[in-house]
Amino acid sequence: MKVEAIPAKQGEHHLHNYEDIAANFDWTEVEKEFSWYESGKVNMAYEAIDRHAESYRKNKVALYYKDQSRNESYTFYEMKRMTNRAANLLKSHSELEKGDRMFIFMPRSPELYFAMFGALKMGLIVGPLFEAFMEGAIYDRLDDSDAKAIITTPELLPRVPFDRLPHLKTVFLVGEEIEENDHTVDFMKHLHGASDKFEIEWLDKEDGLVLHYTSGSTGKPKGVLHAQYAMVQQYQTGKWVLDLQEEDIYWCTADPGWVTGTAYGVFAPWLTGTTTVILGGRFSPDGWYKAIEDFGVTVWYSAPTAFRMLMGAGDALVKEYDLSTLRHVLSVGEPLNPEVVRWGVQVFDKRIHDTWWMTETGAQTICNYPSMAIKPGSMGKPVPGIKVAIVDDQGNELAPNQMGNLAIEKGWPSMMRQIWNNPSKYESYFLNDKWYVSGDSAYMDEEGYFWFQGRVDDVIMTSGERVGPFEVESKLLEHPAVAEAGVIGKPDPVRGEIIKAFVALNAGHEPSEELVQDIQQFVKKGLAAHAAPKEIEFKDKLPKTRSGKIMRRVLKAWELDLPTGDLSTMED
């Protein structure tokens, strides 16, 4: 395929000459940027907040927070004090100790970040949860990780099945007039009275940082554990990829319940001492453009679905706002369509820089850099110091332009360190003890640019959110009318994919529009709104292997009118 590359604009960039830097880059050089280089004792919260509070950045704004009712800002010095208070509060009202898991389940607010970094100061492992999760999703994650504490709001509390989680000892509630009892603590009541001095818990580089649950094609969601050391790559990509400079105002639109919202919502910008904008509330085209104008955003990191929705809102709307502060725009999460890249150039006069990575990689891995030409539709080139290759199923590297498994050589700094409670699953990601196999298929062209082709497995990416079909199928099967269920991703022009379910009914149930809605509500309430099938098609029977496994491949072929391929394993 011939594409017109969009050249880089001249400017001062941290990564000025990709080929030179990539030729021999040594990650241990980056360790010298941190205060722990000599001591070896680390804490993300110190590097992201306190270090700046003790420097010339003391009175620099760390966080701008805005939603319908609040508009606040906190300097690095203020963040240090608030996170110290939060740490003291968490410590004195619980039995929490270093290494324990604390989950965060609440809408974006400054308190969310006080609590997150307070927990990190204590040496806890933080488990972020997406606000839309319902009881089943919460239970699975807290149960698997033996979580000891959760911070949430009175509105979300009913979704936390406290009585079924024997390890869960403390619930911190963020709200008004909280009734306290032996396991419920009023966070706001104690926050302002807590001491603003706190002795940080110093950790080893390999100690836990965050635990993100993410979906695969089989089984329940897996707990991906990242170590403190991930900060090395998060910091360096903050410079090379986000190109963060001292005077930047940076906005990452991702929710902190997902890895983008931790690694690039707060870690990367704060590790580099950059001012970060957090916008609460829902997506709206006007609200987003207004935020760029009001804060004077210079670096903006978002996702293809959002860009497509902005595109759909029309170019006239763009003209109503002053977006001239924008210097650098980036995207992650799903394939970034070439027409979106061209739209960006047209309406913002900015190239949208695609970046590829995943929960398991812990930080950006393949990227388009501001100093490099962009080929619209390509994910870009590997981050210097990381070896990415296309390999076959035996782990042999393939030549340019051959499609295969997108794989990363083991040992990059922010690589996941564990699948929680599941060492054999962890091992299964690595081929020949050398390649981490991503589950994506791709090819590399002669110039070293990587091109995404699809998922090798059945994982669904809908509006940039990763949904495991098995989780949805399991929930569907709990519905009294459902006998069998198979779930696939169906291509969609805005959302990338939508979730489509094929369902066979139990005797005594007939297909109807009411039943469709009832089943959709059932999944929404039990799992999460984004996991509910947008389409449900009833079938008498679903294609299964002789061992009883639903053949999603066949469902997909039906849906897309493709040949069904080898059916030798299918039951009669």
Q: Pick between residue 94 and residue 361 the one whose CB is nearest to ligand WT7.
A: 361
> Interior CA angle at 134 toward 130 and 139, to 5°?
95
Q: How far is the CB of 447 from ligand WT7 (least distance, A)?
A: 18
Min. distance of Cβ 225 from ligand WT7 in angstroms?
14
Residue 172 CB contacts under 8 Å (≥ 6 apart), including other chains: 89, 90, 93, 115, 149, 150, 151, 152, 185, 187
Distance of alpha carbon 408 from alpha carbon 45, whole angstroms? 28
Beta bridge partners of 407: 389, 437
With respect to ligand WT7, which residue has the nearer C-beta, 235 or 289?
235
Cβ nearer to ligand WT7, comparing 440 with 484: 440
Least Å distance between CB 423 and ligand WT7?
A: 20
Nearer to ligand WT7, 153 or 364 (CB): 364
> Which residues in this chain contact ligand WT7 in the complex, by CB under 6 A?
214, 259-260, 332-335, 354-359, 379, 438-440, 452, 455, 461, 466
Find, among 544, 291, 282, 237, the residue nearest to 413 by Cα.
237
Task: Give a three-class secondary structure readout of 496-517.
Answer: EEEEEEEEEECCCCCCCHHHHH
Amino acid in the structure at residue 158: P
Residue 316: CB partners within 8 Å, gap ≥ 6? none
Rounded to a whole number of angstroms, the minimum distance from the CB of residue 459 to ligand WT7 is 7
Closest CB to ligand WT7 among residues 285, 439: 439
Q: At closest approach, how far in Å is the CB of 335 from ligand WT7?
A: 4
- Select 82 or 242, whichever has its Cβ closest to ligand WT7: 242
Cα gap 236→234, rounded to integer Å: 6
* Residue 84 or 305 having the CB closest to ligand WT7: 305
Q: Cβ(487)–Cβ(535) under 8 Å?
A: no
Query: What are residue 378's DSSP bridge partners?
Result: none
Q: How far is the CB of 337 from ligand WT7 (least distance, A)?
A: 10
Enter the tokens of residue 32.
Answer: 């010298």
Closest CB 477 distance from ligand WT7, rounded Å? 24
How many CB atoms within 10 Å of residue 133?
Answer: 23
The two structure tokens encoding residue 83: 């996170």
Angle at 103 between CA 98 and CA 108, to 5 degrees: 125
Closer residue to ligand WT7, CB minimum distance, 87 or 461: 461
Of 88 and 260, the one with the shorter C-beta distance to ligand WT7 is 260
Whole-number Cα distances in Å, 513 to 32, 69, 170: 62, 39, 43
Interatomic CA distance for residues 522 and 518, integer angstroms: 6
Question: Which among 314, 320, 324, 375 has a CA at the least distance from the CA of 350?
Answer: 324
Q: In degrees to the nearest 10, what's the CA dihedral of 85, 90, 92, 93?
A: 130
Whole-number Å distance between alpha carbons of 475 and 436: 30
Q: Can you spell out the DSSP letters for 435-450?
A: EEEEEEEEEE-TTS-E
Minimum CB separation of residue 69 from ligand WT7 in Å reads 29
Min dist CB 263 to ligand WT7, Å, is: 8
Report, in Å, the least distance between residue 310 CB and ligand WT7. Answer: 17
Q: Least Å distance between CB 558 and ligand WT7?
A: 23
Nearer to ligand WT7, 118 or 333 (CB): 333
Strand, coil or helix: 558: helix
DSSP 249: E
Q: What is the DSSP letter of 260?
A: I
Smaller CB separation from ligand WT7, 172 or 264: 264
Q: Which is nearer to ligand WT7, 354 or 473 (CB)?
A: 354
| Nearer Cβ to ligand WT7 (149/358) | 358
What's the one-letter identity of residue 173?
L
What is the smallest separation between the CB atom of 356 and ligand WT7, expressed in angstroms?
Answer: 4
Q: Minimal distance in Å, beta carbon 333 to ligand WT7?
A: 4
CA pair distance 9, 77, nearest whole angstrom: 36
In the complex, minimum distance from the CB of residue 332 to ligand WT7, in angstroms, rounded to a whole number: 5
Helix and strand numbers (H, E) in the chain are 20, 27
Show the beta-strand stretches assigned E in 146-197: 149-152, 170-173, 184-186
How far from the centroid of its chain's Cα atoms is residue 532's Cα? Answer: 19
- Cβ count within 10 A of residue 481: 18
Cβ-based nearer residue to ligand WT7, 371 or 378: 378
